[in-house]
Amino acid sequence: MKTGRLWRAILLRAWLPAALVLTWWFASATSESLYFPSLKTILTTMWDDLIVHGMRTDVVPSVEKFLIGFLIAGALGIVFGLLIGLSPVLRAACEPIIQFLRSLPPPVLLPIGLLVFGIGPAMNISIIVVGAVWPTLLNTIDGVRSLDPLVKDMSRSYRLTLPQYIRYVLLPHAGPAIFAGLRTTLQISIILIVVSEMVASTNGIGFYLLNSQQTFAVPETWAGTVLLGLLGYLANLVFVRIEKYVLRWQYGMRALNAKG
């Protein structure tokens, strides 16, 4: 029974992407356009340039910088979100600074990153952290602030220590909001790694895309774009699995409520 439901879920999610890929494959099979090569040409170029020859020089460095930047941004957002959410005084003091910094478009920070870190991985990672930390930070603050006052009073009556209060009360309550912020941080991180590599890097997928664009290598440009989409999709799949595992109690409650 469970196997049947699993296959139905897979078919429900996969039929439209599969149909679009097949349509693209057959519709572009005889394409002679300079700007719109066939899907076969794009995939062949992606395999030869980025998978076979560019895995170590372009793909792996981009994935490493993306993961490091995302993890740092997520960790900083959660830690400082908890601290700011717990302290009304700190929240009032930090709010103008947070609103000012989060309103700055991340590409504006690229020249500053170049001056501070120069060209290299440190600059790419710093841009991801500074540009992607805000959704997690703000969602964590909101999640902490939304805790019912009755639950706070009950925690005091049980004389929970601060670490116990954070672990057993705050984090479970704010977990859904935190993961919603982390998902947005994940998406922004993917965008920023490409943008930063286009400006200040000597390798990576962003550098590959910029070089392909400047040399008017259209199949290579399409290949890099398709690979970025695939990597983003895979990263989101992994994130969703982690989210379901960490918040499995919430999904269990939803299932019980649906049955009821």
Asked if residue 120 belongs to a domain, the reply is: yes
CB 208 within 8 A of CB 159: no
Cα–Cα distance list, 70 to 59, 111, 171 (Å): 16, 21, 20
Asked if residue 28 belongs to a domain, the reply is: no
The 10s digit of each residue's pLDDT in 50-101 is: 998 889 888 999 999 999 999 999 999 999 999 999 998 999 999 999 988 8
Angle at which helix 121-145 crosses helix 171-199, to 10 degrees, equals 160
Structural domain boundaries, residue 174? 39-259
Asked if residue 10 belongs to a domain, the reply is: no
Q: Domain total for the chain?
A: 1
pLDDT at residue 109, as a whole number: 81
Asked if residue 2 belongs to a domain, the reply is: no
Cβ atoms within 10 Å of 143's Cβ, excluding its own: 24
pLDDT at residue 3, as a whole number: 65
pLDDT at residue 101, as a whole number: 86
pLDDT at residue 46, as a whole number: 93
Asked if residue 60 belongs to a domain, the reply is: yes
Which CATH number does the domain housing residue 169 bear?
1.10.3720.10
Asked if residue 74 belongs to a domain, the reply is: yes
Distance CA 211, CA 213 (A): 5
Task: State the virtual CA torsion across 159, 164, 165, 171 in degrees, nearest 10.
Answer: -160
Distance CA 57, CA 222 (A): 18
Burial class (CB in 10 A: 0-12, 13-18, 19+), 33: exposed
Listing DSSP states for 138-204 in one string gives HHHHHHHHTS-HHHHHHHHHTT--HHHHIIIIIHHHHHHHHHHHHHHHHHHHHHHHHHHHHHS-SSS
CB 224 within 8 A of CB 209: yes
Asked if residue 149 belongs to a domain, the reply is: yes
Give the residues of the chain that fall short of pLDDT 70: 1-6, 9-10, 251-260
Count Cα atoms within 13 angstroms, Cβ side, for 112: 10
Asked if residue 241 belongs to a domain, the reply is: yes
